[in-house]
Amino acid sequence: MRVGLTGGIGSGKSTVAGMLRELGAVVVDSDVLAREVVAPGTVGLAQVVEAFGPEILAADGTMDRAKVGAIVFADPEQRQRLEAIVWPLVAAASAELAATAGPDDVVVHDIPLLVETGQQSRFDAVVVVDVPVETQVERLLRDRGMDEAEARSRIAAQVTREQRIAAATHLIDNTGTVEDLRRRVAEVLAELRS
């Protein structure tokens, strides 16, 4: 069973991925892979530097994610340019990891931009973690130290809540307590296994 997991920034998708992992699902985390494919010495980093210039490098030779974020979240064409470099590399690394799963495993691909990149048809099921936009803004201010303009810019750079929900085969509302969330995650995993 191949499952795509997604949710808007600040929705709690990473928390849900952790819960799924604790409950025995195999979780392939695209955020982790996205960092690995642009690590120093990789082809990915070389391609990003070629596309955006050496000024996107930090003093230690790593990609300065804040500088790249400032470029790509302000300009949709630049964001597409970065995604065209990074996402094929992430997809290849993801396929390698998924190939290690057993035939009865539920393999969950944690992909923040699943709907934005049109990947929903690649999966047997799509799980969307959902919260209202105002909840996203509150969490980004509180948990990530963003100001309101930056938070709203990041949210606006993604597809709308309605577009994400339309892609879902399973919806997880993350506006309740942690216990509510854990219960709903367990229910969804049971449905996926049946």
Mean pLDDT of 29-53: 95
pLDDT at 190: 96
For the chain, the structural domain boundaries read 1-25+106-194, 34-104
Question: pLDDT at position 98, please?
Answer: 86
**Residue 121 marked ligand-binding:** no
> What is 34-104's CATH number?
3.40.50.300
In CATH terms, are 1-25+106-194 and 34-104 the same topology? yes
In the prediction, which pLDDT does 145 show?
A: 93
pLDDT tens for 163-181 read 999 999 999 999 999 999 9
Q: Whole-number mean pLDDT of the chain?
A: 94
Residue 12 assigned ligand-binding role: yes
- 7 annotated as ligand-binding: no
Stretch 26-44: mean pLDDT: 93
Of 40-44, 96-100, 152-156, which range is least confident?
96-100
Structurally, at CATH architecture level, domain 1-25+106-194 sits in: 3-Layer(aba) Sandwich (3.40)
Q: How many helices (H) and strands (E) does the chain have?
A: 9, 5
Q: How confident is the model at residue 112 (pLDDT cuts 50, 70, 90)?
A: confident
14 is in an annotated binding site: yes
Judge residue 145's burial from the number of C-beta atoms within 10 Å of its C-beta, 0-12 exposed, 13-18 middle, 19 or more buried.
exposed
**Would you call 188 exposed, middle or buried from its count of C-beta atoms within 10 A (0-12, 13-18, 19+)?**
buried
